[in-house]
Amino acid sequence: MLQQLKTLCKCLANKAEANSDGQIRVSGRDTFDYIRGDWRATVYVELLTGRIKRRICVWSIRKWHPPHETEEMTQADKDTILCCLRSYFDKKRIAYDLLEGDPPST
C-alpha cells in the first residue's frame, strides 16, 4: 500500500501543467522542462528553504533541445517560457524569485 502511494505521488509530481503557450514538466530537483509540440527547453530553478521556495535562473533559458538545437531562441521565446513557468508556480502557490544576469563562472 505504501509503495502504491509513493508511485502515485511520483506520477502526480511529474505531471505536466499545460496552458496555451506550452507546458511545464518537472524534470529534476532543480530543473523544469518547457514543452511546446516538439520544441523543448530546460530551465534551472533552484530549490530554496524559507518563504521563497524557488529561484528561477533566467540566464538558463538559452537554447532549444534537439531537433531544434540549431534554431535561435529569440527573446520572445525566452519571455514566453518565463511567463509559462511563472504561471505554473503561481497556480501552485509556490513563492519564487528571479535570478537574472550571467550564469555563475566555474
Reported pTM? 0.79
Q: Using the 8-state DSSP alphabet, how is residue 74 labeled?
A: -
Give the helix/strand (H/E) hosting 4.
helix 2-13
Cell readout for 68 is: 531544434
- pLDDT tens for the chain, 106 residues long, are 555 544 444 444 445 566 668 999 999 999 999 999 999 999 999 999 999 999 999 999 999 999 999 999 999 999 999 999 999 999 999 999 999 988 777 6
Q: Using the 8-state DSSP alphabet, how is residue 37 labeled?
A: T
pLDDT of residue 92: 96
Give, in order, the Cα–Cα distances in Å from 17 to each of 21, 32, 60, 98, 104.
Answer: 11, 11, 20, 20, 29
pLDDT digits (tens, 9 = 90+) for 18-38: 666 899 999 999 999 999 999
